[in-house]
Amino acid sequence: MLSNSIIDSDDDGIVLKSTGAAACEDIVITNCVVSSFCNAIKAGTETTGGFKNVSISNCVIKPSKEKGKPIWDTPRIGVSGLSLMIVDGGTLEGFTVNNLTIHGTESPIYIRLGNRARPHTPGAVVNTIGEVKNISISNVVAYDAGTWGSSITGLQGHPIKNISLNNIQLFSKGGLKMGDFSTTVEEDEKGYPHAITYGNLPSHTLYVRHAENISLNNVTIGTESPDSRFPIIVDDVDGLQVRNIVWKNADETKPLVKGKGISNHAVEAPLGWTDGDYFDLMDE
């Protein structure tokens, strides 16, 4: 258990690692205040044994008070608030995240399955792609976020599974125009897992790719300045539920959700939506 701690770090703030065959498991992180120029609360990157049964609750994430230049040339407001990943084999499962306040950071939520496949035990071989599944994130307020957006990304044929986001508020700076971001997102299967890799996503709030059973319920989103991007983009997702969404300052000129390769979906209109398509399913 880690509790009642105040952390201000140039590198990642609170980090779980797994460098052997056994999982890093049965962990409680609670009542902490964390600042980081990198990732505030993170599982990974070393993930050989995986992570299991982790509770993260009642934490505040805020910008660092340090006035010097970040040693890794990262954003002063931080790279991500919550970063959960498997990239070297192993399984990440059984995470509950509840009651987070995230002030600042470029990417409030970053969930990633990759295949860097780097062994961390002498003589070991990482020859299987890991898993990311069974994650509940609830009661999160993220504000003054940068422009990168949040993401949930698996690999083709290896989806991230069973992720629920409930009672979430995501407010970012916005203000991007065409040309300020790429309309495609590289798979980067072997790369270092980092929200910096994606930078400004083509969605200003959430990007989801290669996933199963994704639920968004009671989510409020908004940008300080008008943004040309779609709020939510989904690609190759089986089982998508979006309901009880409040989109502040929506002008109804673009959909709430834009997607392709989507099956078994139930997407409701944002509360108060009166005109126009709110779900653009590109391959229908």
pLDDT tens readout for residues 17-59: 999 889 999 999 999 999 999 999 999 999 999 999 999 999 9
CB 111 within 8 A of CB 163: yes
Q: Which of 71-80, 116-125, 253-262 has the lowest average pLDDT?
A: 116-125
Per-residue model confidence (pLDDT) at position 123: 81
CB 7 within 8 A of CB 32: yes
* CA distance to 16, 45, 274, per residue, from 86 (Å): 11, 7, 41
Residue 252: pLDDT over 90: no
Per-residue model confidence (pLDDT) at position 284: 56
* CA distance to 77, 146, 150, 277, per residue, from 180 (Å): 19, 13, 17, 25
Question: Residue 140 is encoded by which pair of tokens?
Answer: 């999160």
Rounded percentage of the chain residues whose pLDDT exceeds 90: 92
- Cβ contacts of 247 within 8 Å, gap of 6 or more: 220, 221, 222, 231, 256, 270, 273
Give me the phi and psi of 43, to 5 degrees please: -115, 120
Per-residue model confidence (pLDDT) at position 120: 83
Query: What would the mean pLDDT of 193-218 be, rounded to a whole number?
Result: 97
Residue tagged 């919550």 (tokens): 82
pTM: predicted TM-score of the whole model, two decimal places: 0.97
Handedness of CA 64, 55, 130, 151 (dihedral sign): negative
Per-residue model confidence (pLDDT) at position 7: 98
Please write the tens of the pLDDT for every residue from 56-88.
999 999 999 999 999 999 999 999 999 999 999
Per-residue model confidence (pLDDT) at position 216: 98
Rg over alpha carbons for the chain, rounded to the nearest Å, is: 18
Mean pLDDT, the chain, rounded, equals: 96
Q: For residue 142, what pLDDT band results from cuts at 50, 70 and 90?
A: very high
Query: What would the mean pLDDT of 176-187 be, rounded to a whole number?
Result: 95
Per-residue model confidence (pLDDT) at position 283: 72
Q: How many Å from the N-terminal Cα to the C-terminal Cα in the chain?
A: 48
Per-residue model confidence (pLDDT) at position 253: 85
Q: For residue 124, what pLDDT band results from cuts at 50, 70 and 90?
A: confident
Handedness of CA 202, 205, 211, 213 (dihedral sign): negative
Give the C-alpha separation, 71 to 239, whole Å: 41
CB 274 within 8 A of CB 251: no
Query: What would the mean pLDDT of 206-216 be, rounded to a whole number?
Result: 98
